[in-house]
A = this chain, B = another copy of it.
Amino acid sequence: MLTENTSDQVGGMGEAALIREMLTCLGSAGPPPPHGPGDDCALLPAVGRRRLVTADPVIYKQHFLPQHSPRDVAAKLIRRNLSDIAAMGGRPEAAILSLSLPRQTSIRWLKRFFRALGSEAMRFEVTIIGGDCSESEGPPGFFMTMLGQAAGRRVLTRTGGRIGDMIYVTGRLGGSLLGRQFRFQPRLTEGVWLAGQRAVRSMIDLSDGMAKDLPELLPPGSAARLDAHQIPIARAAERRAKETGRPPLHHALHDGEDFELLFTVSGNTDLTRLERDWRGAFDVPLNQLGKIVPRSGSTPPILIDHAPDNFQLNRGYEHFR
């Protein structure tokens, strides 16, 4: 995405021309002002629902590499933000994109990126309503803020889980590095459905790996007791395990960027019925991994039954470590 070919470099193009080019590529995903880019602010209509706001970037060498296509990078940028909206049970609405680009950034790469961003936005019914474009000496970075609306009266937060709750996860986990990190499906309709189920009490999306994200759902004085046999392991986690020599379970619990939904359900629920209703509505697998139990002084926050001998949990991915 960086080029030595000066005629393809964004430096010298001019900010105004770059923004025009971006709007052309975005097509109808970038509506005219005041509801789209072009004025001092973009306008959002008044609606009778609460709004949701989240922000996630993709930065060169941190979230993608030279070999990744502009299409993959655009998909990742939009979808990781959508996954946060899904995790609250919301519907996406609009996105704001701030670009930080060195002069060597390839115009050709950017055009392909903007076109992909436009088609991703259309697909998920999001409009790109504004942003900013700055020159920088650093690696290219795409900083998105996403706005959504609560789908109903209820949104699901990370707090709300209680001791006795069952822990569920959508999809299969691990090995996202082998491709799913770009091509995952944000669980939007599933998130809305779950927020509509009274028995569901708390939810998070798995972005940094179960080992780091699951503790966010645990109320004080509690731990998660999981059954290793119930943890849905992606085939990619098995392939990855062959590369690393670690058990597939390690990858299912530690690899980041699954972007599946992890949620807790009241133990006083007809779980069979909930699971049957889910299967009636969605093809995505749903697995009950374990439950929230009382935690005594020195126990770790996650206990795993039926794990391989000497299996150890460590923290998931964290910046600045």
Residues of A whose CB lies within 8 Å of any CB of B are 10-16, 18, 33-34, 38-57, 59, 61-63, 84-85, 87-88, 90, 94, 96-98, 100-101, 103, 129-139, 141, 143, 145, 147-148, 150, 155, 157-159, 204-205, 318-321
Contacts and interface: CB of A to CB of B under 8 A. Distances in A.
Contacts of A148: 41
B88 A135 contact: no
A150 to B, nearest CB: 8
Contacts of A45: 50
Contacts of A98: 55-57, 98, 143, 145
Given A155-B34, A320-B15, A90 B59 contact: no
Contacts of A157: 33-34, 39
A81 B100 CA distance: 17
Residue in A38, A55, A85 whose Cβ sees the most chain B Cβ within 10 Å: A55
7 contacts: A18-B320, A40-B54, A41-B84, A42-B52, A46-B48, A55-B132, A62-B134
B138 A55 contact: no
B320 A57 contact: no
Q: What 9 A-B pairs are tightest by C-beta distance, nearest first?
A: A138-B138, A40-B87, A145-B145, A41-B52, A15-B319, A143-B143, A44-B51, A40-B84, A41-B54
A155 B43 CA distance: 9
A94 B53 contact: yes
Contacts of A39: 88, 157-159
Contacts of A139: 136-138
Contact of A51 (B51, B103, B130): B51
A193 B85 CA distance: 36
B43 A130 contact: no
A100 B14 contact: no
A147 B53 contact: yes
A174 B13 CA distance: 27
A318 B52 contact: no
Contact of A54 (B42, B46, B159, B318): B42
Contacts of A54: 40-42, 96, 130
Contacts of A38: 158
A181 B95 CA distance: 28
Contact of A320 (B12, B33, B94): B12
Contacts of A53: 41-44, 94, 96, 129-130, 145, 147
A88 B40 contact: yes
Nearest to A56: B132
A298 to B, nearest CB: 21
B51 A43 contact: yes
Contacts of A158: 33, 38-40
A3 B103 CA distance: 26
A148 B53 CA distance: 13
Nearest to A15: B319
A80 to B, nearest CB: 10
